A and B are shown apart, each in its own frame.
Chain A
Amino acid sequence: MAFQLLLNFFIAVVWMFISVSFTASTFIVGFILGLIMLWIMQRFIPGRFYMSRVWAVIKLVVLFFKELFMANIQVLLLIIQPKMPIKPAIFALPTSLEKEWQITLLSSLITLTPGTLVLDVSEDSKTLYIHAINYEDSDDAINSIRDTFEKAILEVSRS
């Protein structure tokens, strides 16, 4: 990833030197040319083509904003009801993520999605303990959200 990005910058700088014009637009043209070169030669460069990872990050961000907005509206509807039919609970959620930044990212995403709040991470960091505001009817939904988030994070970090 870092190597490919560096190579791409290098190609862009070389392009600037070739065309003897040191402006931002020449740099961008060189960068796009370098991107095409890297894409053609991805078989010879170790690791995944780095643009696919950037694309995965963009997909994760879009997914996150969608979930954030939908779930906030759910909480709004829950709070303005006179009887407030909530059933709070703390449940364990086994996670297959291993690196620390992945777990931090996942718990931040889960916490920002209303209805769930990460209370604790177990010492072997295999389990997240989550406080859910409405356990009964949202267990499956939460699991599916978790699946989508976890899958998206794995997609970003796949080598």
Chain B
Amino acid sequence: MTILANILIVATIVFGVIFTLVTAVGLIRLPDIYTRTHAASKSATLGVMFILIGVFLHFWLIEGHLNSRILLGIIFLFITGPIGGHVIGRASYLSGVKLWDKSVVDELAPVVEERKKQFNKQ
């Protein structure tokens, strides 16, 4: 039973570390701010979530102590992670940060242009 629990704990923490590493590599290797936001806002969320689950399982199954704060932390992370990514992406787009030059389609540009025109009229 303890072996099973240990396997589960080690697996979740290894997953978390791998995803966090992917985040770091992605932050270095990806070309522009939007693709970096992809790496920073998601793989990091999943990585930290897996590490927290591993910690929770360790203290629950091995030490016999159920810590509900870790679960709350996971939930808060889930709510705030994507919103942080969205706000960073939106703010950089509206302040005119350029897309990577190999980007294929940009359907947002005319909309933002239109919005700016309306704003200037007022």
Q: How far is the CA of A148 from the CA of B4 in the complex (A)?
A: 34
User: What A residues does B45 contact at CB under 8 A?
Assistant: 112
List A residues 95-143 near B (Cβ within 8 Å).
107-109, 111-115, 117-120, 122-123, 129, 131, 133, 135-136
Interface residues of B (CB under 8 A from A): 18-19, 22, 25-26, 29-30, 32, 34-35, 37-39, 41-43, 45-46, 78-79, 81-83, 85-86, 89-90, 93, 99-100, 102-109, 111-112, 115
User: What B residues does A89 contact at CB under 8 A?
Assistant: 103-106
Q: Are A122 and B105 in contact (CB under 8 A)?
A: no
Q: How far is the CA of A146 from the CA of B26 in the complex (A)?
A: 25
Q: From the candidates B46, B90, B104, B111, name the one contacting A87 in the complex (CB within 8 A).
A: B104
Q: Are B90 and A119 in contact (CB under 8 A)?
A: yes
Q: Is the interface of B mostly helix, strand, loop or mixed?
A: helix
20 new A-B pairs (CB below 8 Å) besides A112-B45, A119-B34?
A72-B42, A72-B43, A72-B46, A75-B22, A75-B38, A79-B25, A79-B26, A79-B39, A86-B35, A88-B103, A90-B108, A108-B83, A111-B85, A117-B86, A118-B89, A119-B89, A119-B108, A120-B112, A131-B89, A135-B104
Q: Are B105 and A91 in contact (CB under 8 A)?
A: yes
Q: From the candidates B32, B43, B89, name the one contacting A114 in the complex (CB within 8 A).
A: B43
Q: Are B111 and A88 in contact (CB under 8 A)?
A: no
User: What B residues does A136 contact at CB under 8 A?
Assistant: 104
Question: Could you say which interface size class chain A belongs to?
Answer: 20 to 34
Q: How far is the CA of A117 from the CA of B34 in the complex (A)?
A: 8
Assess whether A80 is interfacial by the CB under 8 Å rule: yes
Q: Are A122 and B41 in contact (CB under 8 A)?
A: no
User: What A residues does B105 contact at CB under 8 A?
Assistant: 89-91, 135
Assess whether A6 is interfacial by the CB under 8 Å rule: no
User: What A residues does B86 contact at CB under 8 A?
Assistant: 107, 111, 117-119
Q: How far is the CA of A20 from the CA of B78 in the complex (A)?
A: 42
Interface residues of A (CB under 8 A from B): 68-69, 72, 75-76, 79-80, 84, 86-92, 107-109, 111-115, 117-120, 122-123, 129, 131, 133, 135-136
User: What A residues does B18 contact at CB under 8 A?
Assistant: 76
User: What A residues does B26 contact at CB under 8 A?
Assistant: 75, 79
Q: Are B43 and A88 in contact (CB under 8 A)?
A: no
Asked if A117 meets B46 with Cβ closer than 8 Å, knowing A79-B25, A112-B81, the reply is no
Shortest Cβ distance from residue B25 to the other chain A in the assembled complex, whole angstroms? 6
